[in-house]
Amino acid sequence: MALNLLMLGPPGAGKGTQAERFARTRGIPKISTGEILRDAVHTGTDIGRRARAIMDRGELVSDEVMIGIVRDRLEKDDTADGFVLDGFPRTVEQAAALDTIMAARDALIVLDIVVPEAELVRRLGTRMICENCGANAPIGDGTVACMRCGGRLVQRADDDQAVVIERLKIYHRQSEPLVEYYRVRPTFRQIDGAQPPDKVASDLDAAIEAAGAGAVTLAKTVDRVLRRGVQP
Ligand code: ADP
Ligand code: ZN
């Protein structure tokens, strides 16, 4: 079975860090829509030019554009054994489109990282990223250069305090309903993201095990029902 992971959670929950770890430890591609957009801004593509102002205000890029980006990316062969999606879906419309895209593929394992609001504001206000490669720096440990490429660390434009508040507001309004969208599935799991990163990581690993078992049970049930034509 392919390992199709989806990371949910507010900005600052640590989705990117944990997604990066999955990509490394499980050998699946990480698909981060925030990163794809920042790259597009950097190289000055059409989408990048239009997305820049929207991102700087902390608002969401249109569903149409985002769905197109993700559909194209998931068509690539490197996603055959799985992937980890970070930053998508962010709206119920995007989630519904993703279900259509995924219709013939293995079930999504949905991991929701939960962090209290005050902690998010604190984290986002002190987060530093590499000016050159965009990597996140560890929070508040006083490093001045990027661990990956040695680049200068700067605050991300959309981590400015007013923008942070706006992003959290938009999260509650547009993205939090996704929790209700996915909660009913046997492959949905919530993880306490206020713990140290290593503990979050081991909780996520356990959640994937449990959710994977849920997906297999569900697939078997569907298979049995289809074969025998019985009611579940
Ligand atoms: P965060 O730190 O909040 O996880 P991201 O790096 O995922 O931020 O995204 C940065 C910005 O890129 C968002 O605030 C938004 O403007 C845009 N963006 C990223 N993913 C999406 C998406 N799925 N739908 C709409 N806009 C998106
Ligand atoms: Zn760097």
CATH number at residue 191: 3.40.50.300
Q: How far is the CA of 89 from the centre of ligand 2 (A)?
A: 26
pLDDT of amino acid 106: 95
Q: Which residues of the chain have pLDDT under 50?
A: none
Domain of residue 100 covers 3-28+81-116+177-230
Q: Is residue 157 part of a domain?
A: no
Give the pLDDT confidence of 67-82 residue by residue, as tens digits.
999 999 999 999 999 9
> What total number of domains does the chain contain?
1
Catalytic hit among 38, 52, 127, 189: 127
Residue 90 annotated in active site: yes
In the numeric block, which tokens belong to residue 164?
């942070």
pLDDT of amino acid 163: 86
Q: Is residue 45 part of a domain?
A: no
pLDDT of amino acid 139: 64
Q: Of 129, 119, 97, which is closest to residue 168 (Cα–Cα)? A: 119
Instruction: Kindly calculate the radius of gyration of the chain based on its CA atoms and give it in whole angstroms.
Output: 18
Assess whether the C-beta atom of 171 lies below 6 angstroms from ligand 1.
no
Q: How far is the CA of 154 from the centre of ligand 2 (A)?
A: 11
CA distances from 207 to 28, 29, 187, 199, 211 (A): 17, 19, 9, 12, 6
Q: Is residue 132 part of a domain?
A: no
**DSSP label at residue 107:** P
pLDDT of amino acid 164: 87
Residue 127 annotated in active site: yes
pLDDT of amino acid 211: 87
Q: Is residue 47 part of a domain?
A: no
Q: Is residue 7 part of a domain?
A: yes
